[in-house]
Amino acid sequence: MAGLMRQRDWKSTPLGDPAGWPDALKIPLKMLLTSRFEMWLGWGPDLSFFYNDAYIPTLGLKHPSMLGKPFKQVWAEVYDDVADQVARVRDGEATWNKALLLLLERSGYPEETYHSFSYSPLYGTGGAVEGLLCVVSEDTERVISERRIDMLRQLGMRMVGNIDQQSVIEAAFSVLNFNRRDFPFALLYLENEARAWSADAGRLIDHPWPLEQAASSDIRKLPLSAAMDWPTGAWKRPPAEALVVPIPGAGGRRVFGSLVLGLNPHRPDDPHIMDIARLVAGQIGGALANIDVLQSERRRADRIWSYSRDLLVVIGADGILRSVSPAWTRILGHAADIVVGRHLRDFVFADDLTSTTEAFERATRNADLTAFENRLVGSDGKTRWFSWHTSTEQDLVYSYGRDITEQKDNAAALAATEAALRQAQKMEAVGQLTGGIAHDFNNLLTGIIGSLEMMKRRAGEGRTVDADRYVTAASAAAHRAAALTQRLLAFSRRQPLDSKTIDVNGLVDDMAELIRRSIGESIELDFEVGPNLWFAKCDANQLESAVLNLAINARDAMPQGGRLTIRTANIHVDAEDAARSRIPAAGDFVMISVADTGHGMTADVREKAFEPFFTTKPMGQGTGLGLSMIYGFVRQSGGFIDLNSEEGKGTTVRLYLPRSEAAQRKNDRADIENPVNRTDRNGTILVVEDEAAVRAIVVDALRDAGYRILEAGDGATGLKFLQGSARIDLLVSDVGLPGGLNGRQLADAARVLRPNLRVLFMTAYAHNAKVGAGSLEAGMELIAKPFEIDTLIDRVCRMIDEAP
């Protein structure tokens, strides 16, 4: 697309020469062209249309002729569906659509498609909205597949338990009437009956369909005359084609009749519709076959023994087979005279022998069996599933077994289909998470890249007046990106935690004034701290953040004022309580609860409360990562979280943190609250970092602080310094190093050579190396990337000063 854009003569368009395009257009356009997400951008009064390579399949035949054309011309066929959203974007409001139905003419006809997309305003240099950015993903195949799977599942359920032909027809009617997108109209022709699925299709009963051919052949597709007034179903446009589908009989029997199904006019080349039609006809045919069998059995009750399709068996109390019906031979292949006189266990599959013996013993005690399932072995060595019912009289057990092998196979196939559907839903959730991350990071990167480019532009012009403003903007965006990364790591339980023994009551007491200022005067704040509270094992900073986050959420839930109550208590969870309440583990926990009297949550909101990027707050007032971050922090700390909320009655969130056995308080954050005086520092520091830019910054900062620096780009080089004779007061190492020797392994090797060496680990992601909470040895500490230079220097100064 970048190549096509360079070939275009833009000077003759309303946008003019690209050299004069504003940065407000060029910056998002550059982001769009380098993204692998489907994106398009409209600019100017007519929203001149730009798009990236990922969006080409959505345009179809309209590519590349629509490049630079007005948006209203590009998607003229659906513009009315989104015109109100375009107007809202021009007013500065972003919009979102979930799987919106759009009839796109990208293939030469109006095609049924579903797209999830967002419209975001693009602001010009004057602060007015001058463009629109759209990030989109196509959901067509998922939506249509789910619709069809749901129809087939509902049809299968409704086909079970019918006792006559009419009940089968009514059950099929009730399901297909809810899917008039795939089949706008449907007709059923049986030997003695013809029915229309819907009232508007009744006049088609006498139409000359080729039913005789369908009765002896496979499914047929027919063109429909445009001169006739066909039922449109869920669409405004009538179908152009129909299927004539034979309803199969059971076991190779002649067909029961035919289905005539009008086809979706917006999917004329659908490759799967014939298979779906076959499945529909097959389920109806299967139900009719069951009805036919049932009626045949009733008509021939006097000969049921000889002609039964089920196994009819008489067994003595000793387990010896006294008599079997011919079905035994038909289904399992054993001749009746060979079976009679042998023990039941001779024919039971080995894995089912114990359960079958126990069930037979119950049957002999007049405890009739119902739907007991086991497998019998046929003469060919293959097993078949049977569902057994019994009745006992004196010392004989009368049994009949229904062959359910096909149902078992169908159930397995359905389970596989549902597993595939769940996987598709998981991928959709991953896509939603990825889209949310991309949205936030793209906004932040736009601020960083734009600021840097403006600084470069101004520097080239010799103008440095606004440099501080751009530096501040880029720095603020970078810090917000770092905060977002930490929230994502907290949600995924991958953030590096500095777990210590915490006096929770003391921590809550220290936070009281901060919480009061945060919630405002209209909310009454109560503290109910538990006596003799145990110490907890967790990261103090993360716990403070969690409590403050919950307090702010509670404030937002009480816009008219209310009561916020923070409680602490000791909680013991035994194994029985843990199993009953699905708590991850038993043990002693310190509980911190934050309860409000606000508007509460609906059931739907409660279910999604811990999902990433889910928020009920207005656009721009919440990231949707708060509760998911708290959830991840608590679980990573070895605890669990409980949420109780009822609409109109408030919300209570309880955090359960594992008890610490330490005997003294260790709420020690002196390195944060009391920075070390770092003037006139001496000592030698070995810095090991594979990222050259990061290494250069760390080395320059520590050298400016007065330290002598040795530097290495990998673990092997760092180990050579440690094996030498030079004095080294502190090892500062990244955790993830290339070359097979990571930071923790380097530190362990260093401790062998220099037992008292202090080690400061730097990490952005501590999951795959043993430097997490509770695994650091004495003299080892951890600092999480990204960090501020002052924080790094303060930590280094303190560790060197505390060295033996």
Last residue of a domain, one of 299, 318, 351: 299
In the structure encoding, which two tokens stand for residue 429, read together? Answer: 């959730």
Domain of 172, CATH number, reads 3.30.450.40
pLDDT at position 50 is: 97
Residues 417, 484, single domain; the answer is yes
DSSP state of 430: H
- Average pLDDT over every residue of 223-248: 94
64: preceding bond cis by omega (within 30 degrees): yes
pLDDT tens digits for 512-548? 888 888 888 889 999 998 899 999 988 887 888 888 8
Q: 730 and 629 share a domain?
A: no
37 plus 170 within the same structural domain: no
102 in the same domain as 14: yes
In this model, does residue 639 exceed pLDDT 60?
yes
Q: Where would I find the beta strands (DSSP E) of 81-199?
A: 95-104, 111-123, 129-138, 186-190, 193-196
Question: Do residues 756 and 690 both lie within one domain?
Answer: yes
CATH number for the domain harbouring residue 752: 3.40.50.2300
Both structure tokens of 512: 């009281």
CA angle 354, 360, 362 (to 5 degrees): 105
Which of 475, 308, 466 lies closest to 401, judged by CA?
308
Statement to judge: residues 399 and 351 lie in one domain: yes
Is 594 within a domain? yes
Say whether pLDDT at 770 is over 60.
Answer: no
The Cα 599–Cα 628 span in angstroms is 21
Q: How sure is the predictor about 709, in pLDDT bands with cuts at 50, 70 and 90?
A: very high
pLDDT-derived band at 673 (thresholds 50, 70, 90) equals: very low
Domains of the chain: total = 6
Average pLDDT over residues 599-622: 67
- Residue 776 forms beta bridges with which residues? none
pLDDT for res 667: 45
Length of the chain measured in residues: 804
Q: Which range is most confident: 200-204, 252-256, 774-778?
A: 200-204
Answer whether 281's CB lies under 8 Å from 259's CB. Answer: yes
Range of the domain at 528: 499-660
One domain, residues 459 and 508: no
In a domain, 440, yes or no: yes
DSSP 503: -
Query: What secondary structure does DSSP assign to 280-322, as a single string?
Result: HHHHHHHHHHHHHHHHHHHHTGGGHHHH-SSEEEEEETTSBEE
Q: Could you give the CA distance from residue 705 to residue 702 in angstroms, rounded to a whole number?
A: 5
Extended beta strands in 378-521, E state: 383-393, 396-403, 499-502
pLDDT of residue 461 exceeding 50: yes
Per-residue pLDDT tens over the stretch 99-136? 999 999 999 999 999 999 999 999 998 899 999 999 99
Q: Assess if residue 380 is contained within a domain.
A: yes
24: how many CB neighbours lie within 10 A of its CB? 19
Lowest mean pLDDT across 106-115, 689-698, 708-717: 689-698
Q: Note whether 523 and 590 are same-domain residues.
A: yes
Nearest partner of 520 among 474, 564, 485, judged by Cα: 564
Q: Looking at the structure, do residues 392 and 421 belong to the same domain, yes or no? A: no
Mind listing the pLDDT tens digit for each residue in 354-410? 999 999 989 888 788 888 999 999 989 899 999 999 888 888 988 988 999 888 888
Any bridge partners for residue 566, and if so which?
Answer: 527, 594
Q: Is position 665 within any domain?
A: no
Nearest to 288 by CA among 204, 380, 193, 352: 193
Q: Contact 152/221 with Cβ under 8 angstroms?
A: no
Residue 416 has pLDDT above 60, yes or no: yes
Q: What's the token pair of residue 675?
A: 């920075």
Please state, in angstroms and rounded to a whole number, the distance separating the CA atoms of residues 78 and 58.
Answer: 14
pLDDT surpassing 90 at residue 223: yes
**Residue 290 confidence class, pLDDT cut points 50, 70, 90:** confident
The answer to whether residue 103 is domain-embedded is yes
CATH of the domain at 48: 3.30.450.20
Give the integer Cα–Cα distance in Å for 238 and 274.
19
Chain segment 47-91, per-residue pLDDT in tens? 999 999 999 999 999 999 999 999 999 999 999 999 999 999 999
Q: Are residues 161 and 270 in the same domain?
A: yes
Which comes out higher in pLDDT, residue 101 or 482?
101
For residue 226, give Cα distances in angstroms to 186, 237, 240, 429.
Answer: 18, 11, 7, 43
Mean pLDDT score, 488-500:
56
Tokens 């039913």 locate to: 211
Same domain, 384 and 475: no
Query: Which structure tokens are listed for 701?
Result: 């900062």
User: Pick from 355, 383, 403: which residue ends a domain?
Assistant: 403
Which token pair is 616? 């009920």
Evaluate the CA torsion angle 696, 699, 702, 707 in order and state its sign: negative
- Gap between the Cα atoms of 149 and 420, Å rounded: 11
Please name the residue that has the structure tokens 């390579």: 53
Q: What average pLDDT is seen over the chain?
A: 84
138, 156, 177: which is the final residue of a domain?
138
Per-residue confidence (pLDDT) for residue 293, from 0 to 100: 77
| Sheet (strand 684-688) strand order | 708-712, 684-688, 730-734, 758-763, 780-784
Contact 657, 634 (CB under 8 A): yes
Output the six-digit token pair for 366: 């007049």
Q: What separation in angstroms does the CA of 672 have from each of 22, 438, 796, 798?
A: 44, 32, 12, 11
622 alpha-carbon distance from chain centroid: 20
Residue 349, token pair as written in the block? 């599959």
> Shortest CA distance to 267 belongs to which of 416, 139, 111?
111
Q: In the chain, what's the furthest Cα-to-Cα distance?
A: 110
> Is 362 within the bounds of a domain?
yes
- If asked whether residues 624 and 510 sit together in one domain, one would say yes
Q: What is the dihedral of CA 487, 491, 496, 498, to 10 degrees?
A: 90
Residue 679 has pLDDT above 60, yes or no: no
